[in-house]
């Protein structure tokens, strides 16, 4: 990290008790969420169920402008995730937590990004053989071809029945340049690195929210009762300290 740059923690959630919902700007988690001690990464973890024939999961937003001191243009986020042995996306995809700047205009739900209306870069899951789950970034960006986000596949998948640490990094591009960055790590190993993304064409678009989202689809619903477990969510931004 560059000299004088430190990390400020905007959000940390350990899921040990139900006070975790108060950490988000929206404190009412949509869907089926429970605290569990078996299996748990540490004491208790969050279990998110996606019943057969449904899409959600859960959906919570952390708004930087409301909860912290302004919207950043880069951030790190990490969490631990556990996919049970029974988890099977079949040939479908789904969405996991990640950053966004939609401003309720564009960049999600088929609202195509154009560089001025919004963007998003949540993570996603997919099947990668019978015993592994593939990971992606699901991205609405200014150079997307269709109306729905593009899948940027990570180079590493994760095994079922084990806890894994996921790290995400995003840096928005300078308006007028294709120099936006998305990177990712699985258990500390680099799994994705792209540095030519155009999220925006105006500096008014920043990182508005961190979305804690679990959603099955696309258009398809969960083919069976599925669940995903989470723990130790941390969202941080780099800040300049002239004394550093």
pLDDT tens readout for residues 155-180:
999 999 999 999 999 999 999 999 99
pLDDT at residue 241 greater than cutoff 90: no
| Bridge partners (DSSP) listed for residue 74 | 171
Burial class from Cβ neighbours inside 10 Å (0-12, 13-18, 19+) for residue 158 reads buried
Average of per-residue pLDDT values in the chain:
94
Burial 178-199 (b: 16+ CB within 10 A, else e): eebbbbbbbeeeebbeeeebbb
pLDDT grade for 29, boundaries at 50, 70 and 90: confident
Which pLDDT belongs to residue 201? 98
Confidence grade of residue 108 (pLDDT, cut at 50, 70, 90): very high
- Under a CB-based contact definition with an 8 Å cutoff, are residues 157 and 142 in contact? no
CA torsion 120-29-236-168 (nearest 10°) is: -50
Sorted by where each starts, the structural domains of the chain and their CATH numbers stand as 13-239 (2.60.120.200)
Q: What is the pLDDT of residues 64-89, one digit of tens each?
A: 999 988 999 999 999 999 999 999 88
pLDDT at 120 over 60: yes
Four-residue CA torsion sign, 142, 25, 23, 15: negative
CA 63 to chain CA centroid, Å, is: 14
Q: What is the mean pLDDT of residues 227-239?
A: 96
Supply φ then ψ for residue 219, to 5 degrees.
-85, -25
Task: Tell me what pLDDT residue 31 has.
Answer: 79
Question: Quick check: 153 pLDDT over 70?
Answer: yes
Q: For residue 175, what pLDDT is reported?
A: 97
């Amino acid at each position: 990290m560059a000299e004088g740059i430190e990390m400020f923690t905007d959000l940390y959630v350990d899921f040990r008790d139900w006070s975790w919902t108060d950490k988000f700007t929206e404190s009412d988690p949509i869907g089926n969420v429970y605290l569990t001690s078996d299996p748990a990464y540490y004491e208790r973890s969050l279990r998110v169920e996606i019943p057969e024939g449904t899409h959600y999961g859960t959906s919570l937003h952390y708004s930087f402008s409301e909860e912290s001191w302004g919207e950043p243009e880069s951030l790190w986020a990490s969490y631990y995730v556990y996919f049970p042995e029974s988890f099977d996306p079949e040939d479908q995809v789904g969405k996991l937590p990640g950053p966004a700047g939609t401003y309720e205009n564009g960049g999600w739900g088929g609202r195509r990004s154009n560089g001025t209306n919004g963007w998003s870069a949540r993570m996603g899951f997919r099947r990668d053989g019978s015993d592994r789950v593939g990971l992606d970034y699901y991205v609405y960006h200014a150079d997307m071809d269709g109306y729905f986000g593009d899948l940027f596949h990570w180079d590493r998948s994760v095994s079922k029945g084990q806890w894994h640490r996921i790290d995400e990094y995003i840096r928005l591009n300078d308006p007028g340049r294709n120099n936006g960055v998305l990177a990712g790590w699985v258990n500390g190993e680099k799994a994705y690195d792209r540095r030519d993304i155009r999220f925006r064409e105006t500096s008014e678009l920043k990182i508005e929210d961190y979305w804690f989202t679990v959603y099955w689809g696309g258009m398809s619903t969960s083919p069976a009762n599925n669940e995903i477990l989470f723990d130790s969510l941390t969202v941080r931004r780099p800040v300049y300290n002239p004394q550093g």
